Chain A
Amino acid sequence: MNIYILLKQVPGTSDVKMDEETGTMIRTDRRNVINPLDENALAEAIRLKRALSDVEVTAISMGPPHAQRALREAIALGADKAILLSHKGFGGSDTLATSKALAKALLTSVNGRLGKNDLILCGERATDGETGQVGPMVAAILDIPVITFVRKITLEDYLLTAERVVEEGLELIKTPLPALVTVIKDINQPEFPTLAGKLNAKSREIPIFSPDDLGISNNEVGLRGSPTRVVKIFKPKLSRDVIMHQQDSSGAAVDNLISFLEKRGAI
């Protein structure tokens, strides 16, 4: 069987700071990383590969040419193959356009058509867009079952059982393959790449596909294929009119807090 990981390269967010004046991001750290939940998706694929026989793991990403680095890292982490969708025609794609491109790649990719026993794994959401829409949209376009917010996967006789974390607990859902699953952090603890993995990744070519290669018309992807438009970006009003108290031995800070909360009807 084939397991496909949809993997996105995102900006390393640990050092993102805001320019208070202009409302823009100051990225002290220019590194890009694999979207953290996509690392979980990849780790899950590798776990399944170890547990089952005859599994090939392919990472697919759409992004700028330098997203090759994230894919190479995926190979270092144990993916067998990786492909990148990269072309200026893809630029400006919203979640629907992105999903169309990824779905098309899954249908026509190097492995041939999506097989009847294949599994697609995604992160539940990406740290940059934070939409969590791409996984389900890809599934809808492919017309296959999807299970979201998954923290445990069991595969038996090409039937997939998943534990889905919802607001009040866990749901257990069963579905045949092919299916798409979006994973949350709880599913596993990703490992670090091995030296051998890193060496293997270094020499690997990552094939790059354009809309033409995939047989997608230019109207379906990029800005033209995107039904949504960002019309305004602004800085949220972060600061509130904070009342500050220094704690001292008088107890006034806590007394005032309690009466403040009572006045607001908060407690």
Chain B
Amino acid sequence: MYKGVMVIGEQRGGKLHPVTYELLARGRVLADKLSEELSCVILGYGMEQFAEEIIQRGADIVYIVDNPTLKNFLPLLYTRVLTKLTQEVKPGIVLAAATTQGRTIMPLVAAKLDTGLTADCTELDIDLKDKSLLQTRPAIGGNVMATIKTPVSRPQMATVRPKSTKPLPVNKGKEGKVILKDYETNLFSTCEEFLGFIKDTTQDVNVQDADIVVSGGKGLKTRDGFCMIEDLASLINAAVGATRDAVDLGWIEYPHQIGLSGKTVSPKLYIAIGLSGSVQHLAGMQTSETIVAINKDKDAQIFKVADYGIVGDLFEIVPELIEKLKNKKEGKDSLQKRSEIYDKV
């Protein structure tokens, strides 16, 4: 029988990625509703050291497959191992993050297991009537939300949008089992070859990982105007985002594009400056916790999703905002306050 909730943890470069903790928080809620166990799978090399924190963050069981060939993400290889493991464990639900890894591995495993998969869910719940998974995701460019079920096939599989939930705090007292899985060597041979990784140095802060994103659109008028976005961002430790128009005009590179054909972000704070809020842009940012918009057009669509809006000329407002934030930063009191806030987080 298929039972329990399994989350696929994510490691990058030998380090456990914090998105794993978000998945554990999601999985915990579902497992509790079902009164079943929550397990976490980690594929990699030298990963055993992370097992304890995985348990303290919510897992009842940690499966570790440790092998030098698993150091880097190779789709065929990871698929083979994960397919084998899920066939053995038979979880009712399998979740992974909607990252470049998760969005690659999950369709591969789902197809191998001949089961359904729902991409990029923002909400997950259990239908208590039949104990099935309710998978909710934005559809048609964020215009509507769709709730999807996998009525018959098992496991029920979903990728979860990063930053759509908060990790659970560490619970030092929590206990769990660590199971080291080993397989015969031929399972680990593959025709794929990992040649290398080149870190992107143009992005100090990855937009998808950042707590604050400052985004600019065509309203900035020129590349020089767009520099204001970068100034504001660096002042408050934020990542820089942009609309497609700003990217197409060459003011900033594509990895910074937010929206339907760019990245999806869900930071604590999103500041939208001189952008209209097209459906395609909203699709990439409307789940942000707090949204601030600055636009001269009081009817701009972006105000519909904002928590705080300023109607006016950005070329006056943004310099004023930068100036005032700078003064604050220099004041000792506020420095202290900021570090307190950070401690809490």
Contacts and interface: CB of A to CB of B under 8 A. Distances in A.
Interface of A: 13, 16-18, 23, 25, 36-37, 94-96, 99, 127-137, 139-141, 145-149, 161, 164-176, 185-186, 226-236, 238-248, 251, 253-255, 257-258, 260-262, 264-267
A260 B292 CA distance: 10
Interface in B1-56: 12
Given A133-B117, A227-B116, A148 B103 contact: yes
A123 B150 CA distance: 25
Given A96-B114, A234-B144, A234-B145, A171 B194 contact: yes
Nearest to A186: B254
Interface in B303-342: 303-313, 316-317, 320-321, 324-325, 328, 337-338, 341
Interface stretch (B164-172, B205-213, B223-231): B205-213
B249 interface: no
Given A96-B111, A132-B119, A251-B320, A167 B152 contact: no
A176 to B, nearest CB: 5
Given A147-B75, A168-B199, A170-B197, A16 B140 contact: yes
Given A168-B12, A233-B146, A244-B311, A176 B191 contact: yes
Contact of A267 (B116, B209, B212): B212
A231 B75 contact: no
13 contacts: A13-B260, A131-B119, A166-B101, A169-B199, A170-B200, A228-B117, A233-B145, A236-B145, A238-B282, A244-B298, A246-B311, A247-B312, A248-B312
A185 B99 CA distance: 17
Interface residues of B, number: 97
B197 A261 contact: no
B251 to A, nearest CB: 16
Interface in B180-232: 191-200, 203, 206, 208-209, 212
Nearest to B122: A236
B138 A168 contact: no
Q: Name the 6 nearest CB pairs between A and B, nearest first.
A: A247-B312, A227-B116, A140-B111, A228-B116, A172-B195, A136-B107
Contacts of A247: 310-313, 316-317
Given A167-B209, A170-B197, A257-B308, A18 B324 contact: no
B291 interface: yes
B261 A36 contact: yes
Contacts of A94: 116
Interface in B130-178: 134, 138-153
Contacts of B146: 230, 232-233
A260 B308 contact: yes
A201 B115 CA distance: 38
A240 to B, nearest CB: 5
Contacts of B140: 16, 25, 128
Contacts of B304: 238-239, 242
A190 to B, nearest CB: 14
Nearest to A236: B145
B144 A130 contact: no
Nearest to B340: A265
A216 to B, nearest CB: 14
A172 B139 CA distance: 32
A241 B316 CA distance: 25
Contacts of A99: 111
B108 interface: yes
A130 B195 contact: no
B153 A227 contact: yes
Contacts of B106: 133
Contacts of B279: 13, 16-18
A128 B140 CA distance: 5
Most buried by A among B74, B100, B106, B198: B100
A203 B255 CA distance: 41
Contacts of B151: 227, 229
A130 B260 contact: yes
Given A170-B198, A173-B74, A254 B324 contact: yes
Given A145-B76, A148-B75, A96 B110 contact: yes
Contact of B108 (A128, A146, A176): A146
A13 B91 CA distance: 38
B99 A232 contact: no
B236 interface: yes
A163 B76 CA distance: 17
Given A167-B100, A171-B196, A254-B320, A227 B305 contact: no
Most buried by B among A37, A99, A247: A247
A172 B260 contact: no
B158 to A, nearest CB: 10
A244 B302 CA distance: 12
B183 to A, nearest CB: 19
Given A130-B141, A132-B119, A231-B149, A149 B100 contact: yes
B198 A246 contact: no
